[in-house]
Amino acid sequence: MKQAFLVLLLSPFCAFGQKSEVKAVKASFDNYKQAILNDRGEEAVQYVDSRTIKYYGEVLDKVKHADSATVNALALMDKVMVFSVRHRTTKEDIMSFDGKSLLVYAIRSGMVGKNSVVNSSIGEVSIEGTFAKGQYVSNGQKAPFNFSFYKEDNGWKVDLTSVFPTTNMVFRKLVDESGQTENDFLFSILETLTGKRPGDEIWIPTKDL
């Protein structure tokens, strides 16, 4: 009887706590979104998780050290990242970056596109301990994928890598529909973005340039 009374007494507090956490998850995405839309790279990285920073560190390592065979065998999303950084960034900057500063640079230079967050929000949220899943909503429409969030340093952080499988599928479909080879398609995108088509240097580890 006492246990049942205690559960009854605490349940409103638990519900309030859950609602507060859901608000915090959504706020994390909204804060990240506003920082991206306003080119505030240093602020944006405050709202991404350690998995995201680790991923950008791994990309940076490939940019610096990976040879042509290694790059050509990468998953499409990873290849996009390596090509973009090599083509759009100076050797001096690349060699000075770590994963976090590369992400800041990618946001400032538009490699992390504003169209990925504009008119978007997080809809339904489910939370399990320090992990949360939030449905991506674009232009008021629910998308068939979720963003993951992790609670780190007493705050919810966005895991950008959680949507990479979906992004990879989108890129793959675009490549298939283009009628071009995978590399030619990516080079065409970079040429459109920068006005310059990548040359053979795109395949050379940055440390060797």
154: alpha, beta or left? (left if phi > 0; alpha if psi -120 to 50): left
**Averaged pLDDT, 78-89:** 96
Task: Extract the runs of DSSP E, i.e. beta strands, from 39-197.
Answer: 120-128, 131-138, 141-152, 155-159
Measure Cα distances from 155 to 24, 49, 124 in Å: 8, 10, 19
What pLDDT was estimated at residue 6? 41
Q: What is the pLDDT of residue 83?
A: 97
Q: Which residues contact 185 (CB under 8 A, 6 or more apart)?
A: 174, 175, 178
pLDDT at 54 over 90: yes
Give the separation between CA 45 and CA 23, rounded to whole angstroms. Answer: 20
User: With bands split at pLDDT 50, 70 and 90, how would you rate the model's confidence at 17?
Assistant: low
pLDDT tier for residue 114 given thresholds of 50, 70 and 90: confident
pLDDT of residue 118: 85
In angstroms, the CA 166 to CA 47 distance is: 21
pLDDT over 80 at 10, yes or no:
no
* Structure tokens that stand for 94 in this block: 């690349």
